[in-house]
Structure 1
Amino acid sequence: MLWFTPLLPILLTIFDLAYSIDESRLVDAEKTLVWGPGLKPDEVVLPARYFFIHAVDKNGRKFEQSPPQEFQVLIKGNSPHGKCRSNVNFIDRGDGSSIIRYTIADWCDQVELEVRYNGSHVAHSPYVIYNKVYSERCYCPQDLKLWMLHNNCPSGLNDKQIAWDLHSFKRVNFSAIRENLLRRYNQPESVSLCHYVVKQQQIWRQCYGKYTGFKMFMDATLLALGRVALLPDMEFYLNLGDWPLSKKGGQQRTSGPYPIFSWCGSDDSYDIVLPTYDITESTVENMGRVTLDMLSVQKSEYPWDIKEAKAFWRGRDSRRERLELIELARKHPNWLNASLTNFFFFRNEEDKYGPKVPHISFLEFFRYKYQLNVDGVVAAYRFPYLLASDSLVFKQDSGFYEHFYGKLSPYKHYVPFKRDLSDLIERLQWAKENDDRAREIVSEARKFVEENLMPQHIYCYHMALFKEWSTRLVSPITVLPGMEKVEQVYTCSCKEPPYPRDEL
């Protein structure tokens, strides 16, 4: 009956050890990390404020998986309608960290941000905000220098891409070059561009070309920026098309390059690169009418260990290499799952490369360990979203680039493969054989996104570029005949007068 008595000390030791291990992996509310611009909503105004939480245990170790319970976030305060009205969204990144994003209606004061875990305040919660907190939809522009200071924005020349793009345009006299610029690019059947003027916080534009619908993206961008900061007086020409316009060589060897702003750059052009309309719209409409953005895409639904070890790709037929990818996938079905969702450029080859398949949710891409970034007409604008995911990104070598490419490093943030796809299978084999290294690259990519491609960074890049650009304009900023005013849209405004204007 007492046969187990000699084993009792051993059993108790095992029980105590198991208990201590379990105790050590409990979330320590005080040691848990909380950071991000959303903790200073009076200073950092974005369409959706956001901050990060990373669970930490009692031994000070960060969790690498989701903790057993969710964090609770409560926004307290007063508003014109009584209690502060807010909308809070929780995004579990699956690595022990989470993103909390929120919006408020109109304005709130006496705001407290409470972050709790299992009833206990986390880190320095509650976070008390002593100034009024305004919705991004309120018209409350700050002095631009102060805005950039609050948002930790680098100056334009401290960003290598901005410095490189502007090095050919030290002094710009639009009065002298406007006629020739329009003669060169006013080609309605092949080129679409808009001339924008920003003067005393008012936005004006005149567009040229047959297809100018994409002006809505720059309209929304300038209006959004103008609600939060006093923009410098400036003018610029924006390319609404895919291909960069200001090509190197040719007549520009003697006439000099024309300054054209574009959403995509290339090795053979002088275009001044802006964040793409896609990532900018997902910033301006965060928690609005867009469902895919740089925050929501970080939601983890498929842990690494259950992902299928295969590369995944879906897209339209906008480049020959995409068709070749379909052929490669048919030869190597164990390595690639690739299909076309639409035929437009190569409709006569649909019988060979079809059938086309239905679209699926972007988050469903991440059931697979490996994601492919293959150029379309220009750079594939999905690239930042892939980097933000918890899958490993393979990027095709390309002469096109977005505003952030220069900060990336191959084999640190992504795995490169040749433009002709000839080494893609070899690269996939390498990733499968080096799974730990692959996970390190995924981690570095997500860290890069957190430090360079969040909504705050997209705003910063625009502000830094426009501020530096405005200093290079030597001709008078004039609203020309025929320009149309882009009306500001806002739901409320600050009761206090705005900060004094930044003189540039």
Structure 2
Amino acid sequence: MVLFNVHVGALITSLLLLSLLPKIDSSIENESGDIYHEKTKYFREENDISKSSSTWDKYVKLIEIAERNHRNQTDDNDRSVFHEQIDRDFSYWKNQPMSEIQKQFDTIVSIAKTRRLTLYQIIDHRLYRQAEDELIFPARNYGIEHFLLNIIDSLPDMEFLINTYDWPQNQLNIPILSFSKSLFSHDTDILYPAWSFWDGGPALGSVYPTGIGRWDIMRQTLNKARQSYPWTKKESRGFFRGSRTSSERDPLVLLSRSHPELLDAQYTKNQAWKSDADTLGYPPAGELKHEAFCQFKYLFNFRGVAASFRLRHLFLCGSLVLHVGSDWIEYFYDRLEPWYHYIPLETDLSDVENILLFAQNNDRLAGKIARQGRDFIWNHLTMDSVELYWKELLLEYYKLFGIEKSIVKKSKFVQVHRRPKP
């Protein structure tokens, strides 16, 4: 009887102690926004197979800092969430002598022809430009013009130069609108939302022979893929497919060959491909649609000739985006916060193996960053927000560069009309 009472007492004591412990929800989907209750978990022996706790600790601290900084940010409901980029782009021009800039505007037709830019004019809420046979990339202009025509009734008379090349123009005396620019070279171009949100996106072999496609459609396509591959069903490896446009990508492909348990990174053909030497000695991999990427937990983004058109698509997979380098940007990059929406990697990929191991061994935290990145792009980078950015951008442009004299339609310019949906 005494022994029985002892056992019962011990059982009751254990139950009381268990009732006082916090309940832990192990599901990724229901994870709290607070990462601090997770920290002790990162240093348990079973989550630290090959690295010391101090290795993981440096990453956790970076994420904690990003969490704190994010909480201190607020948005102005009267402006686009991306409006700070407009302010930043115009800061250079506000400090330049307007008289010198206006002299350049007097030769704007010559500048457009010499640099092969598109000169747009808005007159009485109508849109004009050079004839189509003078355009370098007509489909890119079509993508731009979709948004311009949507907001034309809100715009005053003005004229502006748009660059449809991949690289910025960096002119010091006249403003030029470009889709991408380099932070390191302090380009003076003013960023606009890329044409590929609507039309003129890059063609990718057999999977996207006429371009990736409209952003509004791809949003839905990738959202369905995300639902088919929720975080718990994704493969815990990194993934990359792309052509060898730069040797910067070589270390990732080589790491994949030596450590396939960490990632699957392979080169595909591009137009310049002639032999396996162009794909680092291996036969080129087959191309895949973006929704196939969603089956992997960690997706790599590299710049191309300029900023990558792929970045926004990767976020919608609900996978963790590993963004390589910080030089080339599009207009929405500034609001993406490293260690909160994505994990940044140095261009030399010196830390890529450690980052992949960290993500594999800290699955809940990796999933949380992936979800935060996806939610930001899904909620804020909408077609409506792209249109709003165009409107704010051009109104700010007019405020600074608008001229009092009437704008007269240039000789041989044609009026732009709406086109059928691509």
TM-score, normalising length from structure 2? 0.69
Deviations 1:328-360, CA, capped at 9 Å, x for gaps: 321221112122222235646326344222222
Residue in structure 1 matched with residue 191 of structure 2 by the alignment: 273
Q: Distance in 1 between matches of 2:245 and 2:78?
A: 36
C-alpha displacement of 1:380: 1.1
Matched, 1:199 2:89: no
Asked if the contact 2:82/2:331 (under 8 Å) is kept, the reply is no
CA change 1:178–1:347 in 2 (3 A) is farther
Q: Which of the two has greater helix per residue?
A: 2
Q: Percent identity?
A: 27
2:249 alignment partner in structure 1: 322
Q: How does 1:419-498 map to 2 (within 5 A)?
A: 419-475=347-403, 476=405, 477-488=407-418
Residue 164 (structure 2) aligned to one of 215, 232, 240: 240
In 2: Cα distance, 1:471 partner to 1:322 partner: 43
Q: Secondary structure at the match of 1:168?
A: helix
* 1:211 pairs with 2:211: no
Q: How does 1:388-399 map to 2 (within 5 A)?
A: 388-399=316-327
SS in 1 for 2:400: coil
CA gap 1:355/1:154 in 2 versus in 1, 3 angstroms: farther
In structure 2, distance between residues paired with 1:387 and 1:184? 38
Which residue identity lines up with residue 278 of structure 1 in the other structure? S
C-alpha separation in 2, matches of 1:452 and 1:398: 21
Give the gaps of 5 or more residues in structure 1.
Answer: 1-62, 66-151, 248-255, 492-504
1:210 to partner: Cα distance: 7.3
How much is the aligned-residue C-alpha RMSD, in angstroms? 3.2
Distance between the aligned counterparts of 2:88 and 2:294, measured in 1?
Answer: 35
Number of residue-to-residue matches in the alignment: 327
Unaligned runs of 5+ in 2: 1-27, 31-75, 202-212
- Give the drift of 1:384: 1.1
1:294 touches 1:453 (CA, 8 Å); kept in 2? no
Which moved further from structure 2: 480-489 or 417-426? 480-489
Q: 1:363 aligns with which of 267, 291, 294?
A: 291
Residue 379 of structure 1 contacts residue 402 of structure 1 at CA under 8 Å; is this kept in 2?
yes
SS of the counterpart of 2:255?
helix
Q: Which residue of 2 aligns with 1:99?
A: none
- Within 1, Cα distance between the matches of 2:396 and 2:174? 17
Q: Please, what TM-score do these two structures have when normalized by structure 1?
A: 0.58
Assess if the C-alpha contact under 8 Å between 1:237 and 1:259 holds in 2.
Answer: yes
Q: How does 1:293-304 map to 2 (within 5 A)?
A: 293-299=218-224, 300-304=227-231
Cα distance in 1 for residues equivalent to 2:200 and 2:142: 14
Structure 2 matches for 1:2-401, cutoff 5 A?
Answer: 64=29, 154-155=78-79, 159-170=83-94, 176-178=103-105, 186-187=113-114, 192-206=116-130, 211-213=136-138, 214-226=140-152, 229-246=153-170, 256-267=172-183, 268=185, 269-281=187-199, 292-299=217-224, 300-345=227-272, 347=274, 349-350=277-278, 352-401=280-329
Cα gap change, 1:167/1:324 in structure 2, threshold over 3 Å: closer, same or farther? same
Q: SS of the counterpart of 1:259? A: coil
Alpha carbons of 1:383 and 1:469: their partners in 2 closer, same or farther (altered >3 Å)? same
1:406 is displaced (CA, Å) by: 1.1
**Residue by residue, what CA displacement relative to the aligned partner does 1:278-335 show, whole Å, maximum 9, x if unpaired?**
224499xxxx977852343222211211211111111222222234432232122111
Q: Compare relative contact order (CA 8 Å, sep 6+) and give the higher one, 1 or 2.
A: 2
SS at match of 1:242: coil
Q: 2:366 and 2:192 mapped to 1: Cα distance?
A: 30
* Cα distance between partner residues in 1 of 2:321 and 2:238: 9
SS in 2 for 1:219: helix
